Each structure stands twice: as structure tokens, then as C-alpha cells.
Structure 1
Amino acid sequence: MEPVVQNLGFMSFIDQGDFVTKALFVILIVMSVLSWLVIFLKFFQGIVDKIKGKKFCADFWAAKNLTDAAKLVSAKPHTAQESLAKEGFQALQKYQSGISNIQGNGTREEYLTSVLRVTLDKIQLTIENGVTILATIAATAPFVGLFGTVWGIYHALIEIGSTGAGTIDKVAGPVGEALIMTGLGLAVAIPAVMAHSWLVRRNRLQMGYLDSFAFELLAVLDRAPATKSQANPNA
């Protein structure tokens, strides 16, 4: 009689696993899907924001005066630079019309600086969406895979103890299950780590560009005599 050849494919090891193994496998798959979803969304969002931001900056700084520049700012800004410009124009209008609270106790430059800084902080929170997800997946996926590995080795030891033999046909399933969980955990974590580092660097560069734009915008708004029509394009 010919020996029965066991199927040692990837899914066969998962099928042989118990509820815990399959649950860990599903968790790692969900982590991988979330990770790649964030990566693709952030990648394409970054391209769109870069193109729109460059176009707005070029048109904004090409304007002859504040009135022409204000006309470029829409009611619902499409870029971070446009949001800064809108908040700056509105802050200038409020200061010109008189602020009846503690924010208006300082000079115009101090008030505009405060408004632009708050806007920059809000923009930073927005562009950092998804970074925490990648960091969490990068940190936890290897441990989820490691837990699956330990669980597989445990099954292998139980099989050896119950049969009294450590032959390959007895331990191949549990050991293969353990190795697969290790590899799957690393396969999920490595792209997440690389994407997290890339996003952190890109966000740092983007915030640097926005800081420069806010500084130049502050200088323009602080020294220019503004009217209501100039200061609030969406009033």
C-alpha cells in the first residue's frame, strides 16, 4: 500500500489549526488590509495635495494685491495653504473690525500669529490621520504572529506527548502552522514599519512648507492695509 501523502500547502496548515489559530490568522489579514488601505490612501492623497497646493501657492503669490489674492480663497478650502489663507484673511477682518475679547488685547501681528498657529496645529492633526494605525500595526503584528508561533509549538508538543513519537508526520502540521504565523506576522509588520517612517518624514516636510507659507502670509497681512472686502473673501 502506498503511503498517504499529506497536503502541506499554506491553507492546509491553516485548516488544520484550531479556533485560536484561525482567529489570529483573520486578525493578521485584517491588519494587512488596513495597513495597505492607509498606505494607498495616503500616497494618492499626498500626490493630490502636492499638485493643488503648488497651484494655489503659485496663483496666490502671483496676485497683484490682497483683493486679488482673496478672490482665490474659496468658502471650502481644498488645500492646507488655502485654509491658512482663509483663516488669515478672516482674522485680519476681525482685528480691523475690533475684537471684544482677550484675543484682541495684543498687536495685530500677535493676533494673526496666534490664529495661524492654531490653524497649523489643526492641519497637522488632519495630515497625521492614519499614522497611528500604521504604528499600531507595525508594533503589534509581530507579537500576534509570535503568539501564533507559540500556539503552534504547543500543539506540536501536545502531539508528541500524546503519541510518544516525534516523527515528522506528527509534528509537521503544528510546526508548519507555527512558522506560517511567524512569517505572516512579519509580512504584515514590515510594510507598516516602512510606510510609517515614510509618512512621518513626508508629514514633517509638509509641515515645514506650511510653516514657511504661514510666515510669509503673516508678513503680508501684517504690513498691508486691509479692508473688509480684502480681509474676508467669503463674508
Structure 2
Amino acid sequence: MSILDLFLKASFLVKGIISILICFSIFSWAIILKKTSILRSATKAANAFENRFWSGIELSRLYQQSDDRRDKLSGSEQIFYSGFKEFVRLHRAHHHVCESAVKGAARAMRISMNRELEALETHVPFLGTIGSISPYIGLFGTVWGIMHSFIALGAAKQATLQMVAPGIAEALIATAIGLFSAIPAVMAYNRFNQNINKIEQNYDNFVEEFIAILHREVVTSETDKNSIINTKAVQQ
């Protein structure tokens, strides 16, 4: 008696349930591997950009570097690009640095941050769904298989353990596969949520720090003519 033999001898419904659970497991592992790589890359990219941001480079120059590769931006760099672009646009519209430019940049960065987080969260809820429903789907297959075993046992004149054991064993496989599918999905779901929360906090801190820099520019703009924006160097 092997797992394959038990699967082949199972009822059509139990076979279908086991097949669904195996597909769930394959999908969840594909998501786990892909999402692990994406989140690791997002964390490294955020750290690398913030090191550049706090290295003392002029913001206009940093904006130019981001603008040159604007189709490939992501994470903190995309948030910075969206906010600084809006800040420059409003600065030119008012011909001076003002509070409305800072508020506009803050809104642009918040929108960009939400989009970045939405991209990071893609497919993660599906892992939670797999982790939640797989044990119940497996349990349904187990109940169905055991029910059929006892029905067959009731029709027999003489009941023996050898008669009922294969049916119960094939039914319990559905629960085992359900747990095999659910446990990695739940663990990955919790881990990914923790990582995304950390990245979100990182993005949020960057936004607040950048807004503070822009606020300081508003305060000093009336007394200091050397603005952080070199409008001639920034492309329109």
C-alpha cells in the first residue's frame, strides 16, 4: 500500500479534492519564491537610494539621475521622484517656494507610496486564502472518504479492519495534503506581511523626512536666495 495506490483507489470526489490541494500547493510555492525575491530586492533598493539621498548630493542632481531612468524607478526612488517633480512644478507656477508646493509634494509622495505598497502586496492575500481554506477542503475529502468506507462496511456481512483501513487511509490523505498546502502558505503570509510593514514604515519615514526638508526650504527661502532647486538644471 502506497500513497499513489491510495490516491488511485480513492473516489472521484476525493481525487478531485486532492488535485485541487496539490494545485494550491504549487501556486503557493510559486508565489512564495517570487515574492521573496521581490521583497528582498525592494529592501535593498530602498536602502541603496536612501544612502544616496543622505550622501549630501544636491536634490536637483538626484532628481536628474532619477529622471534619466524614470521608466525603471521603484520604491523610495519613485516616491522621491514623484514628490520632487510635483514640488518643482508648483514652485515654477508660484515663482517662489511656498507651503502649497510642500503640500502638493506630500500628496504626490503619498499616492506614489500607496501604489508601491499595492504592488508589493500583490498575491499575498491569496496565500492567506490558501492557508485558511486548504485544511477545510482536505477535511471535507476525509469526511467524504470515511463516510463511503462506513457505508461499504455496513453492507458487508462480516466487518474486519482490513476492509475499512484502506478507505480510511485514503480519506486521511486529503487532510494531510491540506495541511501540507496550508502550513507553508500561512507561514509565508505572516512573514511577507511583516516584511511589507517594515518596508511601509521605511517609506513613511522617508516621506516625512523629505517633507521636513521641503518645509525648511520654505522657511529659509525668503531670507536665503540659494534654493535647493536649480530650475535651470531640472528638465521641464
User: TM > 0.5 between the two?
Assistant: yes
Provide the TM-score with structure 1 as the length reference.
0.86
Question: Which of 146, 149, 166 is equivalent to 1:156?
Answer: 149
> Which residue does 2:222 correspond to in 1?
none
8 A contact 2:17–2:138 mirrored in 1: yes
* Structure-2 separation of matches of 1:165 and 1:63: 87
Q: Note the residue ranges of structure 1 that are not aligned, 5 or more in a row.
A: 1-7, 100-105
User: Which amino acid is the alignment partner of residue 164 of structure 1?
Assistant: K
Residue 86 in 1 paired to residue 81 in 2? yes
Question: Which of 70, 77, 102 is equivalent to 1:75?
Answer: 70
8 A contact 2:84–2:105 mirrored in 1: no
User: Which amino acid is the alignment partner of residue 212 of structure 1?
Assistant: N
User: Which amino acid is the alignment partner of residue 127 of structure 1?
Assistant: L
User: Which amino acid is the alignment partner of residue 208 of structure 2?
Assistant: F
8 A contact 1:67–1:229 mirrored in 2: no
Residue 192 in 1 paired to residue 185 in 2? yes
> Which residue does 1:119 correspond to in 2?
112
> Which residue does 1:215 correspond to in 2?
208
User: Which amino acid is the alignment partner of residue 143 of structure 1?
Assistant: Y
Residue 21 in 1 paired to residue 5 in 2? no
> Which residue does 2:221 correspond to in 1?
none
CA RMSD of aligned residues (A): 2.0
Map Cα deviations across residues 126-145 of structure 1 (whole Å, 9 max, x no partner). Answer: 11112111110011100110
* Structure-2 separation of matches of 1:52 and 1:120: 14
User: How much does 1:217 deviate?
Assistant: 1.9
Residue 179 in 1 paired to residue 167 in 2? no
The range that moved more, 126-135 or 51-60, is: 51-60
8 A contact 2:39–2:120 mirrored in 1: no
User: How much does 1:35 deviate?
Assistant: 0.9
Question: Which of 22, 28, 32 is equivalent to 1:39?
Answer: 32
* Structure-2 separation of matches of 1:9 and 1:20: 19
| SS at 1:15 equivalent | helix
User: Which amino acid is the alignment partner of residue 79 of structure 2?
Assistant: L
User: Which amino acid is the alignment partner of residue 85 of structure 2?
Assistant: Q
Question: Which of 139, 149, 156 is equivalent to 1:146?
Answer: 139
| SS at 1:203 equivalent | helix
* Structure-1 separation of matches of 2:132 and 2:44: 33
Provide the TM-score with structure 2 as the length reference.
0.86
The range that moved more, 220-229 or 89-98, is: 220-229
8 A contact 1:60–1:72 mirrored in 2: no
Q: Note the residue ranges of structure 2 that are not aligned, 5 or more in a row.
A: 218-226
User: Which amino acid is the alignment partner of residue 91 of structure 2?
Assistant: Q
| SS at 2:71 equivalent | coil
The range that moved more, 44-53 or 180-189, is: 44-53
* Structure-1 separation of matches of 2:49 and 2:202: 13
8 A contact 1:141–1:185 mirrored in 2: yes
> Which residue does 1:96 correspond to in 2?
91
Residue 49 in 1 paired to residue 31 in 2? no
User: Which amino acid is the alignment partner of residue 146 of structure 2?
Assistant: I
